[in-house]
Amino acid sequence: MFGSAATLAAFSDAGTVRRMLDFEAALARAEARCDVIPAEAAEVIAATCRAEEIDFDALAAAAVAAGNLAIPLVRQLTARVAARDEQAARYVHWGATSQDAIDTGMVLQLREALQAIDADLKALGHACAALATQHRDTPMVARTWLQHALPTTFGLKAAGWLDALRRDLHRLGATRAQAAALQFGGAAGTLASLGNAAPAVAAELGRELSLAVPATPWHAYRDRMVEVATTLGLLTGTLGKIARDVSLMMQTEVAEVAEPSGPGRGGSSTMPHKRNPVGCAAVLTAAVRVPPLVATMLAGMVQEHERALGGWQAEWDTLPQIVTLAAGALRQMLEVVNGLQVDAARMRANLGLTHGLILAEAAMLELGGKIGRLPAHHLVEGACRRAVAEGTTLRQALGATLAGDAAHAGLMDAAALDRVCDPANYAGRAGGFVDAVLAAWRQEAGEP
Protein backbone atom coordinates (compact mmCIF):
# COMPACT_ATOMS: atom_id res chain seq x y z
CA MET A 1 0.00 0.00 0.00
CA PHE A 2 2.87 2.38 0.78
CA GLY A 3 5.47 1.45 -1.79
CA SER A 4 6.07 0.38 -5.37
CA ALA A 5 7.41 -2.89 -6.69
CA ALA A 6 10.56 -1.26 -8.08
CA THR A 7 11.54 0.59 -4.91
CA LEU A 8 10.62 -2.26 -2.59
CA ALA A 9 12.89 -4.51 -4.65
CA ALA A 10 15.70 -1.94 -4.75
CA PHE A 11 15.71 -1.55 -0.96
CA SER A 12 14.99 -5.14 -0.02
CA ASP A 13 17.60 -7.06 1.97
CA ALA A 14 18.70 -8.80 -1.21
CA GLY A 15 18.79 -5.51 -3.12
CA THR A 16 20.95 -3.88 -0.46
CA VAL A 17 23.45 -6.73 -0.34
CA ARG A 18 23.50 -7.08 -4.12
CA ARG A 19 24.48 -3.45 -4.67
CA MET A 20 27.23 -3.58 -2.04
CA LEU A 21 28.58 -6.69 -3.74
CA ASP A 22 28.40 -4.84 -7.07
CA PHE A 23 30.76 -2.31 -5.52
CA GLU A 24 33.16 -5.02 -4.32
CA ALA A 25 33.20 -6.77 -7.71
CA ALA A 26 33.75 -3.50 -9.56
CA LEU A 27 36.52 -2.53 -7.14
CA ALA A 28 38.36 -5.78 -7.77
CA ARG A 29 38.07 -5.40 -11.55
CA ALA A 30 39.20 -1.76 -11.43
CA GLU A 31 42.21 -2.58 -9.28
CA ALA A 32 43.20 -5.45 -11.57
CA ARG A 33 43.10 -3.14 -14.59
CA CYS A 34 45.34 -0.72 -12.72
CA ASP A 35 47.76 -3.56 -11.75
CA VAL A 36 47.01 -3.13 -8.05
CA ILE A 37 45.81 -6.73 -7.56
CA PRO A 38 46.27 -9.82 -9.75
CA ALA A 39 43.75 -10.22 -12.55
CA GLU A 40 43.15 -13.84 -11.50
CA ALA A 41 42.20 -12.70 -8.01
CA ALA A 42 39.80 -10.10 -9.40
CA GLU A 43 38.07 -12.76 -11.50
CA VAL A 44 37.49 -14.99 -8.48
CA ILE A 45 36.29 -12.08 -6.31
CA ALA A 46 33.87 -10.82 -8.97
CA ALA A 47 32.50 -14.31 -9.57
CA THR A 48 31.88 -14.75 -5.85
CA CYS A 49 30.05 -11.42 -5.43
CA ARG A 50 26.62 -12.99 -5.64
CA ALA A 51 23.90 -12.29 -3.09
CA GLU A 52 22.77 -15.90 -3.37
CA GLU A 53 25.98 -16.99 -1.65
CA ILE A 54 25.43 -14.80 1.42
CA ASP A 55 23.96 -16.14 4.68
CA PHE A 56 21.48 -13.35 5.41
CA ASP A 57 20.56 -14.52 8.91
CA ALA A 58 24.20 -14.64 9.96
CA LEU A 59 24.82 -11.30 8.26
CA ALA A 60 21.98 -9.61 10.14
CA ALA A 61 23.11 -10.99 13.49
CA ALA A 62 26.73 -9.98 12.96
CA ALA A 63 25.86 -6.48 11.74
CA VAL A 64 24.40 -5.59 15.14
CA ALA A 65 27.71 -6.14 16.91
CA ALA A 66 29.85 -4.81 14.05
CA GLY A 67 28.00 -1.50 13.86
CA ASN A 68 27.35 -1.70 10.13
CA LEU A 69 26.50 -4.18 7.40
CA ALA A 70 29.72 -3.94 5.43
CA ILE A 71 32.04 -5.48 8.02
CA PRO A 72 30.31 -8.87 8.28
CA LEU A 73 29.49 -8.82 4.56
CA VAL A 74 33.17 -8.42 3.65
CA ARG A 75 34.01 -11.14 6.15
CA GLN A 76 31.56 -13.57 4.54
CA LEU A 77 32.71 -12.62 1.05
CA THR A 78 36.34 -13.16 2.00
CA ALA A 79 35.56 -16.60 3.41
CA ARG A 80 33.73 -17.62 0.25
CA VAL A 81 36.50 -16.33 -1.97
CA ALA A 82 39.05 -18.20 0.16
CA ALA A 83 37.09 -21.42 -0.32
CA ARG A 84 37.78 -21.03 -4.02
CA ASP A 85 41.22 -19.41 -3.98
CA GLU A 86 43.11 -18.55 -0.80
CA GLN A 87 45.42 -16.16 -2.58
CA ALA A 88 42.52 -14.24 -4.13
CA ALA A 89 40.94 -13.79 -0.70
CA ARG A 90 43.85 -11.56 0.30
CA TYR A 91 42.60 -8.87 -2.10
CA VAL A 92 38.92 -8.65 -1.14
CA HIS A 93 37.91 -5.04 -0.30
CA TRP A 94 41.48 -3.93 -1.01
CA GLY A 95 42.06 -0.29 -0.07
CA ALA A 96 38.38 0.43 0.63
CA THR A 97 36.46 1.11 3.83
CA SER A 98 33.01 0.08 5.03
CA GLN A 99 31.47 3.42 4.20
CA ASP A 100 32.68 3.18 0.60
CA ALA A 101 30.72 -0.05 0.14
CA ILE A 102 27.65 1.17 2.04
CA ASP A 103 27.41 4.61 0.43
CA THR A 104 28.16 3.46 -3.10
CA GLY A 105 25.73 0.61 -2.65
CA MET A 106 23.10 3.15 -1.60
CA VAL A 107 23.90 5.30 -4.63
CA LEU A 108 23.31 2.29 -6.89
CA GLN A 109 20.02 1.53 -5.13
CA LEU A 110 18.94 5.14 -5.52
CA ARG A 111 19.78 5.12 -9.22
CA GLU A 112 17.52 2.12 -9.72
CA ALA A 113 14.68 3.53 -7.61
CA LEU A 114 14.82 7.09 -8.93
CA GLN A 115 14.72 5.87 -12.52
CA ALA A 116 11.43 4.12 -11.75
CA ILE A 117 10.12 7.22 -9.96
CA ASP A 118 11.06 9.38 -12.94
CA ALA A 119 9.06 7.13 -15.28
CA ASP A 120 5.99 7.16 -13.02
CA LEU A 121 6.24 10.92 -12.52
CA LYS A 122 6.20 11.48 -16.28
CA ALA A 123 3.23 9.13 -16.61
CA LEU A 124 1.32 11.04 -13.93
CA GLY A 125 2.15 14.32 -15.61
CA HIS A 126 0.84 13.05 -18.93
CA ALA A 127 -2.36 11.91 -17.20
CA CYS A 128 -2.83 15.37 -15.67
CA ALA A 129 -2.09 16.95 -19.05
CA ALA A 130 -4.86 14.87 -20.60
CA LEU A 131 -7.29 16.08 -17.92
CA ALA A 132 -6.23 19.70 -18.40
CA THR A 133 -6.68 19.42 -22.16
CA GLN A 134 -10.06 17.70 -21.98
CA HIS A 135 -11.46 20.06 -19.34
CA ARG A 136 -9.73 23.28 -20.40
CA ASP A 137 -13.05 25.14 -20.40
CA THR A 138 -15.13 23.02 -17.99
CA PRO A 139 -16.46 25.55 -15.44
CA MET A 140 -16.40 24.79 -11.73
CA VAL A 141 -16.24 26.55 -8.38
CA ALA A 142 -12.93 27.92 -7.14
CA ARG A 143 -12.84 27.63 -3.34
CA THR A 144 -10.87 29.76 -0.90
CA TRP A 145 -10.94 28.93 2.82
CA LEU A 146 -13.13 25.98 1.69
CA GLN A 147 -15.86 28.44 0.63
CA HIS A 148 -17.16 29.33 -2.82
CA ALA A 149 -15.02 32.13 -4.23
CA LEU A 150 -15.28 32.64 -8.02
CA PRO A 151 -15.71 30.48 -11.11
CA THR A 152 -12.66 28.68 -12.46
CA THR A 153 -12.23 25.64 -14.69
CA PHE A 154 -11.37 22.08 -13.88
CA GLY A 155 -8.77 22.32 -16.61
CA LEU A 156 -6.97 25.02 -14.64
CA LYS A 157 -7.08 22.93 -11.46
CA ALA A 158 -5.53 19.99 -13.34
CA ALA A 159 -3.01 22.36 -14.92
CA GLY A 160 -2.01 23.52 -11.44
CA TRP A 161 -1.29 19.92 -10.52
CA LEU A 162 0.65 19.47 -13.75
CA ASP A 163 2.79 22.58 -13.33
CA ALA A 164 3.84 21.48 -9.84
CA LEU A 165 4.69 18.03 -11.19
CA ARG A 166 6.75 19.67 -13.95
CA ARG A 167 8.84 21.43 -11.33
CA ASP A 168 9.17 18.17 -9.39
CA LEU A 169 10.35 16.43 -12.56
CA HIS A 170 12.96 19.12 -13.17
CA ARG A 171 14.22 18.87 -9.59
CA LEU A 172 14.29 15.09 -9.79
CA GLY A 173 16.43 15.17 -12.92
CA ALA A 174 18.98 17.45 -11.26
CA THR A 175 18.95 15.33 -8.09
CA ARG A 176 19.48 12.09 -9.99
CA ALA A 177 22.54 13.56 -11.68
CA GLN A 178 23.92 14.93 -8.41
CA ALA A 179 23.38 11.66 -6.53
CA ALA A 180 25.10 9.46 -9.12
CA ALA A 181 28.49 9.96 -7.51
CA LEU A 182 31.01 7.34 -6.45
CA GLN A 183 32.00 7.26 -2.79
CA PHE A 184 35.56 6.00 -2.55
CA GLY A 185 37.94 7.41 0.01
CA GLY A 186 39.38 4.56 2.02
CA ALA A 187 39.75 4.63 5.78
CA ALA A 188 39.87 8.40 6.28
CA GLY A 189 39.06 9.87 2.87
CA THR A 190 42.63 10.07 1.59
CA LEU A 191 42.94 6.77 -0.33
CA ALA A 192 46.42 6.45 1.18
CA SER A 193 46.06 2.68 0.97
CA LEU A 194 46.34 2.78 -2.82
CA GLY A 195 49.31 5.14 -3.06
CA ASN A 196 49.95 6.62 -6.47
CA ALA A 197 47.45 4.25 -8.07
CA ALA A 198 44.52 5.87 -6.24
CA PRO A 199 43.39 8.30 -9.00
CA ALA A 200 43.49 5.61 -11.68
CA VAL A 201 41.60 3.09 -9.53
CA ALA A 202 38.94 5.65 -8.64
CA ALA A 203 38.48 6.61 -12.29
CA GLU A 204 38.27 2.97 -13.37
CA LEU A 205 35.84 2.17 -10.56
CA GLY A 206 33.63 5.06 -11.64
CA ARG A 207 33.62 3.73 -15.19
CA GLU A 208 32.79 0.23 -13.97
CA LEU A 209 29.74 1.47 -12.08
CA SER A 210 28.82 4.31 -14.49
CA LEU A 211 29.15 6.83 -11.65
CA ALA A 212 30.78 10.23 -11.61
CA VAL A 213 34.04 10.48 -9.68
CA PRO A 214 33.81 13.61 -7.50
CA ALA A 215 36.72 15.88 -6.77
CA THR A 216 36.97 14.51 -3.23
CA PRO A 217 35.45 11.66 -1.22
CA TRP A 218 32.27 12.73 0.56
CA HIS A 219 32.11 10.46 3.63
CA ALA A 220 30.98 13.24 5.98
CA TYR A 221 29.27 15.56 3.49
CA ARG A 222 25.72 14.31 3.06
CA ASP A 223 24.16 16.97 0.83
CA ARG A 224 23.79 14.53 -2.08
CA MET A 225 21.74 12.11 -0.01
CA VAL A 226 19.79 14.90 1.67
CA GLU A 227 18.99 16.42 -1.72
CA VAL A 228 17.33 13.14 -2.67
CA ALA A 229 15.31 13.29 0.54
CA THR A 230 14.22 16.90 0.12
CA THR A 231 13.38 16.49 -3.57
CA LEU A 232 11.19 13.51 -2.80
CA GLY A 233 9.73 15.36 0.16
CA LEU A 234 8.62 18.13 -2.19
CA LEU A 235 7.23 15.58 -4.64
CA THR A 236 5.27 13.87 -1.87
CA GLY A 237 3.87 17.25 -0.85
CA THR A 238 2.72 17.87 -4.42
CA LEU A 239 1.05 14.47 -4.50
CA GLY A 240 -0.59 15.23 -1.15
CA LYS A 241 -2.00 18.48 -2.56
CA ILE A 242 -3.55 16.60 -5.48
CA ALA A 243 -4.92 13.94 -3.14
CA ARG A 244 -6.44 16.60 -0.88
CA ASP A 245 -8.14 18.28 -3.82
CA VAL A 246 -9.53 15.03 -5.18
CA SER A 247 -10.76 13.77 -1.81
CA LEU A 248 -12.53 17.07 -1.05
CA MET A 249 -14.13 17.08 -4.49
CA MET A 250 -15.21 13.49 -3.88
CA GLN A 251 -17.21 14.31 -0.74
CA THR A 252 -20.85 13.26 -1.07
CA GLU A 253 -22.08 16.86 -0.84
CA VAL A 254 -19.68 17.97 -3.60
CA ALA A 255 -19.45 14.86 -5.84
CA GLU A 256 -17.54 16.53 -8.67
CA VAL A 257 -15.03 13.73 -9.17
CA ALA A 258 -14.59 10.13 -8.05
CA GLU A 259 -11.69 7.74 -7.81
CA PRO A 260 -11.82 4.78 -10.21
CA SER A 261 -14.14 2.05 -8.99
CA GLY A 262 -13.64 -1.69 -8.95
CA PRO A 263 -14.45 -4.80 -6.96
CA GLY A 264 -13.26 -4.37 -3.38
CA ARG A 265 -11.99 -0.81 -3.93
CA GLY A 266 -13.05 1.86 -1.48
CA GLY A 267 -15.71 -0.16 0.29
CA SER A 268 -16.65 -0.34 3.94
CA SER A 269 -16.84 -3.38 6.21
CA THR A 270 -20.30 -2.32 7.40
CA MET A 271 -21.71 0.22 4.93
CA PRO A 272 -22.29 -1.26 1.46
CA HIS A 273 -22.94 2.14 -0.11
CA LYS A 274 -19.54 3.64 0.76
CA ARG A 275 -17.03 4.63 -1.91
CA ASN A 276 -14.02 5.82 -0.01
CA PRO A 277 -11.06 7.72 -1.53
CA VAL A 278 -8.59 4.95 -0.70
CA GLY A 279 -5.93 6.04 -3.17
CA CYS A 280 -5.98 9.57 -1.79
CA ALA A 281 -5.80 8.18 1.74
CA ALA A 282 -2.60 6.29 0.91
CA VAL A 283 -1.06 9.40 -0.66
CA LEU A 284 -2.03 11.61 2.27
CA THR A 285 -0.58 9.05 4.68
CA ALA A 286 2.76 9.32 2.87
CA ALA A 287 2.49 13.12 2.88
CA VAL A 288 2.17 13.00 6.68
CA ARG A 289 5.01 10.52 7.19
CA VAL A 290 7.68 11.89 4.84
CA PRO A 291 8.30 15.42 6.26
CA PRO A 292 9.66 14.24 9.65
CA LEU A 293 11.84 11.71 7.82
CA VAL A 294 13.24 14.51 5.67
CA ALA A 295 13.89 16.45 8.88
CA THR A 296 15.91 13.49 10.16
CA MET A 297 18.07 13.60 7.04
CA LEU A 298 18.63 17.33 7.42
CA ALA A 299 19.51 16.94 11.09
CA GLY A 300 22.05 14.27 10.24
CA MET A 301 24.11 16.59 8.03
CA VAL A 302 26.10 17.98 10.96
CA GLN A 303 28.77 15.28 11.21
CA GLU A 304 32.00 14.76 13.09
CA HIS A 305 35.27 15.24 11.19
CA GLU A 306 35.90 12.49 8.60
CA ARG A 307 33.22 9.98 9.65
CA ALA A 308 29.98 10.54 11.53
CA LEU A 309 28.92 9.13 14.85
CA GLY A 310 25.16 8.75 14.47
CA GLY A 311 24.26 11.16 11.68
CA TRP A 312 25.33 8.90 8.83
CA GLN A 313 23.90 5.83 10.50
CA ALA A 314 20.52 7.59 10.83
CA GLU A 315 20.28 7.62 7.03
CA TRP A 316 20.32 3.85 6.62
CA ASP A 317 16.65 3.28 7.41
CA THR A 318 15.42 6.82 6.83
CA LEU A 319 16.33 7.42 3.20
CA PRO A 320 14.91 4.10 1.91
CA GLN A 321 11.67 4.89 3.74
CA ILE A 322 11.44 8.29 2.05
CA VAL A 323 12.09 6.85 -1.39
CA THR A 324 9.65 3.99 -0.90
CA LEU A 325 6.87 6.20 0.49
CA ALA A 326 7.27 8.75 -2.30
CA ALA A 327 7.23 6.02 -4.94
CA GLY A 328 4.15 4.42 -3.39
CA ALA A 329 2.31 7.74 -3.25
CA LEU A 330 3.22 8.37 -6.87
CA ARG A 331 1.92 4.94 -7.92
CA GLN A 332 -1.34 5.48 -6.04
CA MET A 333 -1.90 8.92 -7.51
CA LEU A 334 -1.15 7.68 -11.02
CA GLU A 335 -3.88 5.08 -10.61
CA VAL A 336 -6.31 7.69 -9.27
CA VAL A 337 -5.72 10.27 -12.01
CA ASN A 338 -5.68 7.72 -14.82
CA GLY A 339 -9.13 6.50 -13.79
CA LEU A 340 -10.56 9.74 -12.38
CA GLN A 341 -14.27 10.13 -13.08
CA VAL A 342 -15.17 13.78 -13.70
CA ASP A 343 -18.79 14.96 -13.38
CA ALA A 344 -18.87 18.21 -15.37
CA ALA A 345 -22.64 18.53 -14.89
CA ARG A 346 -22.25 18.41 -11.11
CA MET A 347 -19.50 21.02 -11.31
CA ARG A 348 -21.86 23.31 -13.21
CA ALA A 349 -24.66 22.60 -10.76
CA ASN A 350 -22.44 23.46 -7.80
CA LEU A 351 -21.73 26.82 -9.41
CA GLY A 352 -25.40 27.60 -8.87
CA LEU A 353 -25.51 26.77 -5.16
CA THR A 354 -25.13 30.43 -4.19
CA HIS A 355 -27.84 31.43 -6.70
CA GLY A 356 -25.41 33.64 -8.56
CA LEU A 357 -23.73 35.32 -5.60
CA ILE A 358 -20.45 33.79 -6.75
CA LEU A 359 -20.53 36.37 -9.58
CA ALA A 360 -20.92 39.41 -7.34
CA GLU A 361 -17.39 40.55 -8.15
CA ALA A 362 -18.10 40.34 -11.87
CA ALA A 363 -21.22 42.46 -11.46
CA MET A 364 -19.38 44.98 -9.28
CA LEU A 365 -16.59 45.42 -11.82
CA GLU A 366 -19.07 45.75 -14.67
CA LEU A 367 -20.89 48.52 -12.84
CA GLY A 368 -17.67 49.98 -11.45
CA GLY A 369 -16.58 50.96 -14.94
CA LYS A 370 -19.62 53.21 -15.12
CA ILE A 371 -20.13 54.58 -11.60
CA GLY A 372 -16.85 53.80 -9.80
CA ARG A 373 -15.75 50.82 -7.81
CA LEU A 374 -16.95 51.82 -4.33
CA PRO A 375 -20.49 52.89 -5.37
CA ALA A 376 -20.75 49.72 -7.44
CA HIS A 377 -19.60 47.65 -4.45
CA HIS A 378 -22.35 49.14 -2.27
CA LEU A 379 -24.97 48.62 -4.95
CA VAL A 380 -24.07 44.96 -5.60
CA GLU A 381 -23.70 44.29 -1.87
CA GLY A 382 -27.24 45.51 -1.39
CA ALA A 383 -28.44 43.31 -4.24
CA CYS A 384 -26.72 40.31 -2.60
CA ARG A 385 -28.49 40.95 0.70
CA ARG A 386 -31.75 41.28 -1.19
CA ALA A 387 -31.21 38.00 -3.02
CA VAL A 388 -30.58 36.17 0.27
CA ALA A 389 -33.55 37.78 2.02
CA GLU A 390 -35.98 37.15 -0.84
CA GLY A 391 -34.61 33.75 -1.84
CA THR A 392 -33.93 34.88 -5.40
CA THR A 393 -30.87 34.85 -7.65
CA LEU A 394 -28.32 37.63 -7.88
CA ARG A 395 -29.45 38.26 -11.43
CA GLN A 396 -33.04 38.79 -10.33
CA ALA A 397 -32.12 40.88 -7.29
CA LEU A 398 -29.65 43.03 -9.19
CA GLY A 399 -32.14 43.60 -12.00
CA ALA A 400 -34.80 44.64 -9.50
CA THR A 401 -32.37 46.89 -7.64
CA LEU A 402 -31.30 48.68 -10.82
CA ALA A 403 -34.87 48.99 -12.10
CA GLY A 404 -36.02 50.47 -8.80
CA ASP A 405 -33.40 53.21 -8.76
CA ALA A 406 -33.86 55.94 -11.34
CA ALA A 407 -30.20 56.94 -11.07
CA HIS A 408 -29.02 53.45 -12.07
CA ALA A 409 -31.91 52.13 -14.15
CA GLY A 410 -30.09 52.19 -17.48
CA LEU A 411 -26.74 50.83 -16.34
CA MET A 412 -27.32 47.19 -17.36
CA ASP A 413 -29.92 45.80 -19.72
CA ALA A 414 -31.18 42.19 -19.70
CA ALA A 415 -28.44 40.98 -22.05
CA ALA A 416 -25.75 42.52 -19.87
CA LEU A 417 -27.25 40.94 -16.76
CA ASP A 418 -27.32 37.54 -18.48
CA ARG A 419 -23.72 37.88 -19.58
CA VAL A 420 -22.39 38.99 -16.21
CA CYS A 421 -24.30 36.28 -14.35
CA ASP A 422 -23.04 33.41 -16.51
CA PRO A 423 -20.13 31.65 -14.71
CA ALA A 424 -18.58 30.60 -18.01
CA ASN A 425 -17.94 34.27 -18.77
CA TYR A 426 -15.90 34.91 -15.62
CA ALA A 427 -13.11 32.36 -15.71
CA GLY A 428 -10.55 35.02 -16.52
CA ARG A 429 -7.31 33.77 -18.06
CA ALA A 430 -7.97 30.17 -17.07
CA GLY A 431 -7.76 28.86 -20.63
CA GLY A 432 -4.57 30.77 -21.37
CA PHE A 433 -2.96 29.51 -18.18
CA VAL A 434 -3.83 25.94 -19.12
CA ASP A 435 -2.28 26.37 -22.56
CA ALA A 436 0.92 27.82 -21.07
CA VAL A 437 1.28 24.96 -18.59
CA LEU A 438 0.72 22.35 -21.29
CA ALA A 439 3.38 23.95 -23.47
CA ALA A 440 5.85 24.03 -20.56
CA TRP A 441 5.14 20.37 -19.76
CA ARG A 442 5.72 19.31 -23.34
CA GLN A 443 9.06 21.09 -23.31
CA GLU A 444 10.11 19.49 -19.97
CA ALA A 445 8.84 15.93 -20.45
CA GLY A 446 7.82 15.54 -24.07
CA GLU A 447 4.60 14.06 -25.38
CA PRO A 448 3.35 10.76 -23.87
CA geometry: angle at 228 spanning 224 and 234, to 5°?
135
CA distance 269 to 255: 22
| Amino acid identity, position 284 | L
Q: Which of 268, 373, 385, 429 is catalytic?
A: 268
> DSSP label at 261?
P
For residues 179 and 107, what is the distance between their CA atoms, to the nearest angstrom?
A: 7
Q: How far apart are CA 310 and CA 105, in angstroms?
A: 19
307 is catalytic: yes
Other Cβ atoms less than 10 A from the Cβ of 366: the count is 20
Contact 183, 136 (CB under 8 A): no
276-304 residues labelled b (16+ CB within 10 A) or e (exposed): ebbbbbbbbbbbeebeebbebbeebbebe
Query: Does 268 qualify as catalytic in the annotation?
Result: yes
Cα angle: 287, vertex 290, 294; to 5 degrees: 140
- 348 CB burial (10 A radius; 0-12, 13-18, 19+): middle
Among the listed residues 307, 346, 386, 419, the single catalytic one is: 307
The residues carrying an active-site annotation are 268, 307
